[in-house]
Amino acid sequence: MQAIRRNEPTISIQTARESHIAGASDPEVLEWAAANGRILISHDRRTMIDHFRNRLIAGKHSPGLLLVSQGAPIRLVAERVVFLWAVCDPTDLADRAMHVPSLVYHAFVR
């Protein structure tokens, strides 16, 4: 998060600890993000995508999900997040899961 804030000090971003959701289950985190209009950034590529998909199948919405590999270069991830923030309207990421830094996204059929 520090790298993102260094690249773009005006970006509104919070860690799980800052948001008081550290330790919550994936569905709880997704619900918090939706309720607060926050795009979720997660390292949990193994289980979060399934919970995200299930949320959409249940007819619920999400501001979006950015999945980041633990091994991804921090500088590159920060640049991509700031890029998305600068060029996207928030609705562009709604109900989409995207891998960062590659910017490949999942399309889910409802």
Confidence (pLDDT) at 3: 92
| Pairwise CA distance, residues 94 & 75, whole Å | 25
| Pairwise CA distance, residues 45 & 36, whole Å | 22
DSSP code of residue 10: T
Confidence (pLDDT) at 110: 62
Q: Give the chain's residues under pLDDT 70.
A: 109-110
pLDDT in tens, 32-58: 999 999 999 999 989 999 999 999 999
| Pairwise CA distance, residues 16 & 10, whole Å | 19
Confidence (pLDDT) at 102: 86
Domain boundaries in the chain?
A: 2-106
12: amino acid identity, one letter? S
Confidence (pLDDT) at 16: 92
Tokens coding 60: 């619920």
